[in-house]
Chains A and B, each alone.
Chain A
Amino acid sequence: MKYLARRLAYAVLLLGTISIFSFALLQWAPGNFFDSMRLDPHVSAQTVNAMRARYGANGPFVVCYAGWIRSLVKGDMGYSFAYGTAAGPLLWTRARNTLVLTASGTLLAWLLALPLGIWSAANKGTWGEKICGAATSSLMTIPDLLLSLILLLLAVRTGWFPTGGMISSGAANASFWSEIADIVRHLILPVAALTVSILPMLVRHIRSAMIDALESPFIRAARGHGIPRRRLLFVYALRAASNPLITLFGFSIAGMLSASLIVEVVLSWPGLGPLMVQSILARDVYVVIGIVMLSSVFLVAGNLVADVLLFVTDPRIRVE
């Protein structure tokens, strides 16, 4: 409990620091949403000044930051000037969509990478493993953008998958299961893009961790006791290799939001990715800060999950 409490305290401290820095950077960056408004001949200078005063954009940094913290506590997370609404609800809806996509992609990638990585390690040096290694290397060289475009082209040419959005226009009125099926159909392309972009890195890490574990003398000793191969691989070696893999799992949770950015933009998934691009272009400061903070929360949560899992699985950490 003490370990967990200490980790939580670090996490809160880190999030506080990130919020101050990101707020300061965006506040002090040249130009803002109101400067863009000034360029519009239909909007008078008085209107712009009145809006600045209304949203507290004229105050010093500390006052602006305190105002944002108050709004964060209420769940509003500031105000979106571009959408004319509180940033919080806007972010939550988009974050939920992104979570659906990234959680599915990450889960699928791990489900495929674990057996592939273990198999590659167990069959090191064979032709099959060499082909697998060449395939993962090739996939790693393909940029996410190109991968998403290829999948988009495939969807357009074949017509097998929807080319954008999360739900078809008529599906919202259909039954619950029809709606789920429609979402799943829309998920296929972006999930495939995400999975393919993460999979090679995961397979390589799992393979390398497993090779290290399989070469350790205590695994050799277990072999000398006659342990069956499957148990050796999936129980002994995998457990021995679990520490770096748990850390990697934490990072993959942490990178979930940022990993999907390009995929969401190219494949028109209504998540945080497109919203972030729009908000940056419109200088919608509070939405951008909200997205940065959500990414940071995921980063911290991923590390926290990894720390807790390591604490549970590795008795050495408990002893220390």
Chain B
Amino acid sequence: MNEQNGSILMRVSNLSKEYVQRHPLTRSKVTVHALRRVNLAIRQGATLAVVGESGSGKSTLVRCLALIERTTSGEIWWGDVNLTALAKQGLFNMRRRVQMVFQDPTSALNPGMRADEIIEEPLAIQGIGTNRERRRRALELMEEVRLPAKWAGKLPMELSGGQRQRLAIARALALGPELLIFDEALSNLDLANQETILRLLKELQSAHRLTYIHVAHDLRMVEDLADEVAVMDEGEIVEHKTAQEIFMHPEHSYTQELLAASLSLKAIVEERRVAEFA
């Protein structure tokens, strides 16, 4: 991937992640290589889509980048800071810069907390501001993600799926991160909600100069939102190019298969639409 356009925000070098599991019957140890020497550069202000089949290692990769999961080996560089070598306090401070939005907004939000408390939570954990300041910031963020401030007292269960995901985005924005990671955050939403949130994300990106990483299954959506695409297979990045290059000239056979599957799906959907119209 050409790294000339724009400065690099995060660089991943030879990142590996292994899990040791036990066979359910024989109890023998099995090592699962979730990530195999992944190398990746994330450009500041860009949107990178990480695509691949289930089990290809996409979610493990972004969880490592969001500092939620420990890596087995390799390095993650933020400027000249090696995040994998950071001590407790350094890691704590670094978390403000990278935030994550999860796939299922229902389980990603504390069901016992009100909307404003959910947004205030990361600020309270990081010890930022007084109670009043945190509350004010929460209300501002609610407005920013198009949630009326009068809903501050609502519980997640009182909001729709799309509204919950906006709330999760507001929470992720609370610490003023530079990198936002979306782990299939739009896949549980209907098409109308997906489009509204995509529009919102684009606005937020230009307003806050954010860098996005989207983990996605849906290549059609990726085509609309991503500047770059990294294709993952069996824990490795097999191809990383600009979105245009990936869609126009896919080189790796796995990328070609993914695109072909997506195109045939697209054709089926189109066919159904035509049939319905007829």
Which residues does A use to contact B, with CB under 8 Å? 216-218, 220-227, 236, 239-240, 313-316, 319
Contact = CB atoms under 8 A, between A and B. Distances in A.
Contacts of B125: 222, 225-227
A235 to B, nearest CB: 11
B91 interface: yes
Nearest to A319: B155
Nearest to A318: B155
B157 A223 contact: no
Interface string B67-102: 110000000000000000000000110011011101
Going nearest first, the 9 A-B pairs with the smallest beta carbon separation are A225-B122, A217-B108, A226-B95, A226-B92, A225-B125, A217-B102, A218-B110, A217-B107, A227-B125
Given A217-B108, A316-B157, A226 B91 contact: yes
Contacts of A315: 112, 114, 155
Interface in B158-210: 158, 168, 171, 175
A219 to B, nearest CB: 8
B100 A221 contact: yes
Nearest to B89: A226
A298 B95 CA distance: 49
- Most A CB within 10 A of own CB, among B68, B110, B158: B110
A239 B121 CA distance: 15
A313 B113 CA distance: 11
Contacts of A227: 125
A217 B110 CA distance: 9
25 contacts: A217-B102, A217-B107, A217-B108, A218-B108, A218-B111, A220-B102, A221-B100, A221-B171, A222-B121, A224-B99, A224-B100, A225-B95, A225-B121, A225-B125, A225-B126, A226-B91, A227-B125, A236-B110, A239-B112, A240-B110, A315-B155, A316-B112, A316-B155, A319-B155, A319-B157
A216 B112 contact: no
B109 interface: yes
Contacts of A218: 107-111
Contact of A220 (B68, B95, B112): B68
B234 interface: no
B104 interface: yes
B40 interface: no
B66 interface: yes
Contacts of A314: 112
Contacts, number: 59
Contacts of A223: 68
A118 to B, nearest CB: 18
- Most A CB within 10 A of own CB, among B99, B107, B158, B171: B107
A242 B17 CA distance: 33
Given A239-B112, A314-B112, A316-B111, A221 B102 contact: yes
A239 B102 CA distance: 21
Interface string B117-139: 00001100110000000000000
Contact of B112 (A224, A225, A240): A240
B83 to A, nearest CB: 13
A231 B18 CA distance: 28
A45 to B, nearest CB: 69
Given A221-B102, A315-B112, A226 B126 contact: yes
Nearest to A236: B110
Contact of A319 (B68, B110, B158, B171): B158
Given A218-B107, A218-B110, 11 more contacts: A217-B108, A220-B68, A220-B102, A222-B121, A223-B68, A224-B66, A224-B67, A224-B95, A225-B95, A226-B126, A315-B114
A72 B107 CA distance: 50
A313 B111 CA distance: 12
Nearest to B20: A125
A224 B126 contact: no
A218 B66 CA distance: 14
A225 B175 contact: yes
Contacts of B110: 218, 222, 236, 240
Contacts of B96: 226
Contacts of A239: 112
A224 B157 CA distance: 23
A215 to B, nearest CB: 10
- Most A CB within 10 A of own CB, among B67, B104, B112: B112
A221 B108 contact: yes
A237 to B, nearest CB: 11
A242 B84 CA distance: 34
Contacts of B109: 218
Contacts of A224: 66-68, 95, 98-100
A273 to B, nearest CB: 40
Contacts of A319: 155, 157-158
A142 B96 CA distance: 51
B108 to A, nearest CB: 4
A239 B110 CA distance: 10
- Most B CB within 10 A of own CB, among A220, A225, A236: A225
Given A227-B125, A239-B112, A217 B104 contact: yes
A272 B108 CA distance: 49
Contacts of B155: 315-316, 319
